[in-house]
């Protein structure tokens, strides 16, 4: 049973794998005094080419684990795919728990675009979701959005397969068309999957220096801070909080990426969330 959340409890963050570390990085910068428990559901990654039922079951199982085993005071769904499929279900199941999701940052990209042509890379499941379609419709007339489903890319990043990552990025960037500041070109590229910021150097080299890569880690962190403040759950009583890393799959992949992207030296704990939903 969920007891009333209290400020000293950790914030739970989850993704299908290592991608959510790009969000955790922003969260730790924005909320340095908070404790975080990050769960990578690597044993069931990737989510992006699965059915909604599968993603819903995984999201519910992982969220239940974080609530039951770690007593989290809030949940950040650091996965566009899981947010699109499951956030309503999670909010219905834990109505008093603050839950923050992530979605492709189309609006900031449309606002910043000078050519008014915006590229969007995301998983197939995110792009097919009702949530994404509603977002796209709400921005009709503000810019032209060119979308690209990036099958296999999150998995290649997850598996640290540099060759496959390079090949897929080249293919998908080419598929989006011309990039640059000239009329008719894409000048903003939305990274609509939390795995993609982990290869932003590669993507930037492919689209050129004049194109902005747009990710949502920072806005999600600000939103988390706002939601916690509203619920009077912000914790401000120490210099620095802790971060715990859990994985349902390979612990080495998560540990290596946490070291690389967050400068974090912590032991990753292997966990089992099956049967927790
Ligand atoms: N990182 C996730 C996202 O933001 C999911 C990638 C996947 O598992 O396919 O969509």
Domain positions in the chain are 11-102+218-270, 106-215
Report whether the peptide linkage leading into residue 211 is cis, meaning its omega lies within 30 degrees of zero. no
Query: For residues 183 and 155, what is the distance between their CA atoms, to the nearest angstrom?
Result: 34
Q: Which of 79, 104, 124 to mutate to test the pocket of ligand 1 (most atoms within 8 A of CB)?
A: 79
- What number does CATH give the domain 106-215? 3.40.50.1860
Is any atom of ligand 1 closer than 6 Å to the C-beta of 47? yes
Burial class (CB in 10 A: 0-12, 13-18, 19+), 58: buried
What's the pTM value of the predicted model, to 2 decimals?
Answer: 0.96
Q: Which two tokens stand for residue 210?
A: 């004049």
Provide DSSP, 187-218.
-EEEE-STTGGGGHHHHHHHH-TTSEEE--HH
Q: Please tell me the distance between residue 4's alpha carbon and the centre of ligand 1 in angstroms.
A: 30
79, 150, 169, 236: which is the annotated catalytic residue? 79
Is any atom of ligand 1 closer than 6 Å to the C-beta of 15? yes
Query: For residues 180 and 271, what is the distance between their CA atoms, to the nearest angstrom?
Result: 45
Looking at the predicted structure, is the pLDDT value of residue 235 above 50?
Answer: yes
Q: Which of 14, 17, 100, 199 to mutate to test the pocket of ligand 1 (most atoms within 8 A of CB)?
A: 17
Are 98 and 7 in contact by the 8 Å Cβ rule? The answer is: no
pLDDT tens for each residue of 36-80: 999 999 999 999 999 999 999 999 999 999 999 999 999 999 999
Domain range 11-102+218-270, its CATH number among 3.20.20.150, 3.40.50.150, 3.40.50.1860, 3.30.565.10:
3.40.50.1860
For this structure, is 150 an active site residue?
no
Q: Which residue, 55, 276, 16, is CA-closest to 155?
A: 16
Per DSSP, 8 falls in state: T
pLDDT tens for each residue of 104-131: 999 999 999 999 999 999 999 999 999 9
Output the pLDDT for position 1: 46
Give the three-state DSSP class for 60: helix
Q: Do the domains at 11-102+218-270 and 106-215 have one common CATH topology?
A: yes
Residue 158 Cα distances to 65, 193, 199, angstroms? 22, 12, 11
């Amino acid at each position: 049973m969920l007891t009333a959340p209290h400020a000293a409890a950790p914030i739970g963050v989850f993704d299908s794998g290592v991608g959510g570390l790009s969000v955790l990085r922003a969260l730790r910068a924005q909320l340095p005094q908070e404790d975080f428990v990050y769960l990578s559901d690597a044993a069931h990654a990737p989510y992006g080419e699965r059915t909604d039922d599968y993603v819903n079951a995984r999201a519910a199982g992982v969220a239940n684990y974080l609530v039951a085993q770690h007593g989290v005071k809030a949940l950040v769904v650091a996965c566009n795919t899981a947010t699109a499929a499951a956030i309503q279900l999670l909010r219905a199941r834990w109505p008093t728990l603050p839950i923050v999701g992530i979605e492709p940052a189309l609006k900031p990209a449309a606002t910043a675009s000078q050519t008014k042509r915006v590229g969007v890379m995301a998983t197939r499941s995110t792009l097919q979701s009702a949530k994404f379609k509603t977002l796209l419709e709400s921005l009709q007339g503000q810019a032209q959005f060119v979308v690209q489903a990036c099958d296999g890319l999150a998995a290649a990043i997850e598996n640290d397969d540099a060759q496959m990552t390079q090949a897929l990025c080249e293919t998908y960037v080419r598929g989006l068309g011309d990039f640059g500041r000239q009329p008719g070109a894409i000048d903003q590229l939305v990274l609509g999957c939390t795995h993609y910021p982990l290869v932003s150097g590669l993507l930037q080299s492919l689209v050129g220096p004049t194109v902005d890569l747009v990710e949502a880690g920072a806005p999600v962190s600000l939103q988390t801070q706002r939601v916690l403040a509203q619920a009077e759950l912000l914790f401000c009583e120490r210099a620095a909080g802790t971060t715990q890393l859990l994985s349902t799959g390979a612990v080495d992949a998560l540990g290596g990426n946490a070291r690389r992207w967050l400068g974090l030296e912590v032991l990753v704990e292997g966990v089992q969330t099956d049967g927790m939903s």
